[in-house]
Structure 1
Amino acid sequence: MVNAAEESRRLQDQVAWITGAGSGIGLAGAQALAEAGAIVVLSGRRAPLLQAAAEGIVRAGGRAEVEVLDVCDAAAVAATAQRILARHGGRIDILVNSAGTNTPRRFWRDQSPEGWRQVIATNLDSLFYTTHAVLPAMRARHRGLVINISSWAGVHHPKLTGPAYNGSKHAVTAMTETLNMEDGIHGIRACVICPAEVATPILDTRPQPPSAEERARMLQPQDLGQAIRFVAELPAHACVNQLIISPTWNRMYIDSL
């Protein structure tokens, strides 16, 4: 029988690499995985934010490391993955791709080629770079989990997020399933989590940012952190291919009534 302590530390000593870990869903996921016993490696571009996040995890009794990284730089991603693998005996057990962005000028009438490239590079290209970097080690160990944060816009077609965001998030959803197609036989699982509105800093990039009252009704980062932990704690023979989660007060439905 599994006791309560073992139940709460199911990921003991597993190595989890999280991108976009300085805030929002990435930070909440790192905190939840650390609570479950994982050694979390936090990546993002802002060193002070990452260091503060890591210190908070350590104060709470977890283990955290920092790897400052621009996930849009393929060479830097590969080098970072190699450093993590070298420190941890060739292991990255869990990869959480949570880096994401959008632009205020996001519609066909106002989005520039530069804005398009920024969104696609962050939301899609970076996920390829990180996954490509960890797959050989996962295949060698015949075990591994990739969790990609997509969006409600990765399964539906909301107008408010724009063509670059919608296109990138649909691509993430499709790309994730190709991992299960090819690498399930190697013991590797992939899950795409598709949340509707979450009260994270990316909302500030909207042409009309939501009010505090509206944000309070949305999913909170900790909700997604718990979803990430749920997927990670399932036994290795179980794969959640896709998880769609929304606020009960779902403006994606309400605004269409």
Structure 2
Amino acid sequence: MSMAAASTGTRGAATRRVAWVTGAGTGIGLAGARALAEGGWHVVLSGRREDMLAGACAAITDGGGSAEALALDVVDAGAAEAAATRIAERHGRIDLLVNAAGINVQRRSWADCSAADWERVLDINLKGTVHTMRAVLPFMRAAGGGAIINVASWAGRFTAAMPGAAYTASKSAVAALTHEFNIEEFRHGLRACCLLPAEVATPILKQRPVPPSDDDMARMLQPEDLGQTIAFVANMPAHVCVNEILISPTWNRMFL
């Protein structure tokens, strides 16, 4: 697999807090990285597409932030561990992990979703989250503190037909493992938050079997809304654990 890094940005000192964001090339991950950088964090952007990561880093640094790209496929557990080690060795710390990498498939029903589709959804949404959490755990424990934000979904709390069984199962599991992390790791000064957003107007929505209209997307949560939410959680004092946030647009199509 490919793992390439490029670092840019000059503002700040060596003590700048370091955030590692997966799925950072677009959507919620990119919005979270931008919001964190605006708040003074150094952000390490990970995703599978190096060209997209490079553009995201350039946008952040052009705005005065500090960012670097580290290409990664979260499905690869060994690569996730190597990436965390690389970040920790380079910066001496990993203060925050944001797991925003996620997918869904077009064929979502039990009748149509193939075994390969099931595996792909669970590998990225669930196993990928586990891999990066395990990767940062020893560094956060050694530091005596750290935070993790896992982007799940409204489907992780409320079951509905539209997201499909594979996606719903994966996001429900992400919510559960987030709380299990807090049960075990609070003793080490670590904390995790599960974000459970309803529909967010990201490009992936256009890949749905029935894509939402532009008018519908305009009334959804916007990536920047989630970026601000991620920054809010990340910047809470170390003694505060925001266990989960269930967030939706006021006009919530999940109620229809």
Q: If the length of structure 2 is used for normalisation, what is the TM-score?
A: 0.94
Rounded Cα–Cα distance in structure 2 between residues aligned with 1:93 and 1:246: 27
Amino acid at match of 1:169: K
* Aligned equivalents of 1:204, 1:121: Cα separation in 2: 22
Aligned twin of 1:75: 78
- Counterparts of 1:158 and 1:13, CA distance in 2: 42
What is the letter of the counterpart of residue 48 of structure 2?
A: R
Q: Could you say what the CA RMSD is over the residues aligned between the two structures, in angstroms?
A: 1.0
Correspondence list, 1:62-211, <5 A: 62-89=65-92, 91-211=93-213
> Are 1:22 and 2:25 an aligned pair?
yes
The counterpart of 1:216, out of the listed 211, 215, 218, is 218
SS in 1 for 2:67: strand
Structure 1 spans left out of the alignment, 5+ residues? 1-8
Structure-1 separation of matches of 2:213 and 2:90: 44
Report the secondary structure of 1:223's partner residue: helix
Q: CA deviation at 1:194?
A: 0.3
Name the SS for the 1:160 alignment partner.
coil
State the Cα distance separating 1:206 from its structure 2 match.
Answer: 1.1
Q: Please identify runs of 4+ aligned residues in structure 1 that moved more than 2 A.
A: none
Cα distance in 2 between the residues matched to 1:190 and 1:123:
17
Pairing 1:246-257 to 2, within 5 Å after superposition = 246-253=248-255, 255=256
Identity %: 56
2:5 alignment partner in structure 1: none
Decide which of 210, 231, 234 is 2:233's aligned counterpart.
Answer: 231
Question: How far is 1:246 from its partner?
Answer: 0.1
- 3-state SS of 2:239 partner: coil
Q: State the secondary structure of the residue aligned to 2:211.
A: coil
TM-superposed CA distance for 1:205, in Å, is 2.4
Q: Find the aligned partners of 2:187 and 2:81 in 1 and give their Cα distance.
A: 24
The two structures have a TM-score, normalised by structure 1, of 0.93
Question: In 2, Cα distance between the equivalents of 1:26 and 1:72?
Answer: 17
